[in-house]
Structure 1
Amino acid sequence: MAALLGVNIDHVATLRQARGTTYPDPVKAALICEQAGAEGITLHLREDRRHIQDDDVRRMRPVLKTRMNLEIAVTDEMVAFATEIKPHHVCFVPEKRQEVTTEGGLDVVGHFADVKAATQTLTAIGCDVSLFIDPDFAQIDAAIACGAPTIELHTGAYADAESGAEQQAELERIVKGAEYAAAQGLVVNAGHGLNLDNVAAIAAIPQIHELNIGHSIIAESVFVGLAQAVKDMKAAIQAAA
């Protein structure tokens, strides 16, 4: 069975914030993505509010027909916001102010108590909590100990690999991580840096439930339109299954 596609619409908001305008509206983009076949919508409310704003999340939550996957940092402010919004899914991600995009997986081992507390708080109100982690067995074990039912494996090192050998090594890490996590009963998602050229090998991993892809789809939409960009990515995922 093919992996599901969650479309990250952060960079629609990036385009809006570049000029401080009211357009393009990420809520409108999310609805177009759903109509084009996306099985979920992902958005990252960063602490610095560099793209998605609180109001975007509030407006989007009641109108989505699929599922909202809200990415947030493990902070009291963000956990309180998620408690208010009650998205279907919450994915805890690491955050650094100076980074251009998320640079690696969440260190669940190093921040275990905080991650576990945040996971339990949101699980208690009915959110499906996932942890965005590197394909590392120690991090996967820590995610299980936190009580998170889902993980999202960070595919950035695979996507950014500068040689075929390096990419193959990173792919093998992801495959082994997915197999290990699924064997422990976790739902396994994946994402970061995926595009039409590199998605097939990840989509072909049987244990992968959903792929979260944003930047490359929004970039491709400049040339083919947003709906077609979503359809093209879905077709690539389905062809790889």
Structure 2
Amino acid sequence: MPSQDDINTMQVLLRTHRQTLGILLEQQAKLGVYAPAGVLIGIAEARASIAQAKVALRDWGVTVDDLPNDQSSEAPPVAPGPAGAPPSAVAASGDVIIGTVGAGAQGVAIGKQITQVLGSPGTPGDDRHAIDALLQRCEHELAAAGLDATLIGMAEFQLGLLAGELRKLDPRATPSASTVSQVGGWLLDNLPPLREALAALFAAPAVRRVLGRADADLSGWLQRRFGA
């Protein structure tokens, strides 16, 4: 059986993934059909992570509510698209289920005539859009926290350093693991009002892709600070 700490960590992860999903859904609503692929992929990946967290908690005997945004609504049939159109634009007939699946999703249910659109890593431009939205949330939380002006100034400087590393989206650029861990640790330790926003930032698939190219492995630090 898992310990209470394991359960608490999984519950925090579930909340974090739901917060990330909420931010991305807001971006999608604002941009409509112009939403970049990175936002759509992030939504699918967040929902896959939510589903996995809910399964784990329920297996441990923990009651978990299903929220409306946890799953996407069924897509209605669409008109046939031109030759070479993406799968989402192709007409469906019969009992067809169309699902968008995150790149790392596992255990996806299958059924009659399912068509799956597998998510792939977004372009640097797509990832920048998602990362910027999450950084803006941190900035808004900082502005609303009512902290001492000196602390706010230090926090803004640290957030600027972190943003500089997370925006190294060119495949040839190498983020500094020491800068990320030191700045991230300082923000977590000194700014409790930002902890949820920071957890959502570091859990985002776009951010994880950047951190995966850092000059040292950050998985241990992420596990210690965020439980994943």
* Structure with bigger gyration radius: 2
Please report the TM-score for the alignment, with normalisation by the length of structure 1. Answer: 0.29
Please report the TM-score for the alignment, with normalisation by the length of structure 2. Answer: 0.31
Q: Quick check: which one's strand share is greater?
A: 1
